[in-house]
A = this chain, B = another copy of it.
Amino acid sequence: MASKAIAIVAGVGPGTGASVARRFAKSYPVVLLARNPESYQDLEKEINGSGGKAIGISTDVANEKSVQDAFAKIQQEFPDAPAAAAIFNASGRFARAPFLELKPNDFEASWSVSCLGAVHFSQAALPLLLKGVEKAELSPTLIFTGATASVKSNALMSSFSTAKYATRALSQSLAREFAPQGIHVAHAIIDGVIDIPRTKGWFTDKDPLTYKIGADDIAESYWQLHAQSKRAFTNEIDIRPMMEKW
């Protein structure tokens, strides 16, 4: 398996991250990054037990050293392997609060995961993505998960939206810098509530199949971004459930 291309997913939890990992595991060994091993252990077993290959690594994306350590382990596990895809799905805490009740630290906590974490991850992943450009069947792909707050900054959302706007800026700059080097960078605006255990109690009077976003469906859209030809890169998509008002 030495130099077979791998996929790396940062921010694996019970929602989008896990679905993305499962989807990309159909084609690549996948690396699962999450701060808490509980976030990836079951998934790791599930993928390894069903014909795929997965390894989980406990990683705090907000911490440069932690990310570097994770990528050192990746290279130990998959020596010389290029990356086919790297998906950054981590997000800082979402603190909905009046601005004067927030602490500067709320902004830092949000930014240090969503944006600085994305910087750490991209700096570690891009060399592996670049390594795969020549031989890859599909263009090596770097995807960032955004949110409504990546493009609209509502009242009470400042600590979250400042960080998400920043991540979108990162994605756009990287898309422009690395496309000429063969890397496909894309940003996804997830505009709606994702149907995950944590949101089970939301909208209980409404059909979750049309009012909530399916995590597997996001994953499928990410795969289709990855599958795009270099003659037709999409750099930003929005994703919302059928019944979303926007």
Contact = CB atoms under 8 A, between A and B. Distances in A.
A230 B234 contact: no
User: What is the total number of copies of this protein in its complex?
Assistant: 4
A119 interface: yes
A120 B106 CA distance: 12
Interface in A89-121: 98-100, 102, 104, 107-108, 111, 115-116, 119-120
11 contacts: A99-B173, A99-B177, A107-B116, A111-B166, A153-B170, A155-B176, A214-B232, A217-B231, A218-B232, A220-B229, A232-B241
Interface string A210-246: 1011100110110010011111111111111111111
A212 B231 contact: yes
A25 to B, nearest CB: 19
B99 A123 contact: yes
Interface of A: 64, 98-100, 102, 104, 107-108, 111, 115-116, 119-120, 122-123, 126-127, 139, 149, 152-158, 161-170, 172-174, 176-180, 182, 184, 195, 209-210, 212-214, 217-218, 220-221, 224, 227-246
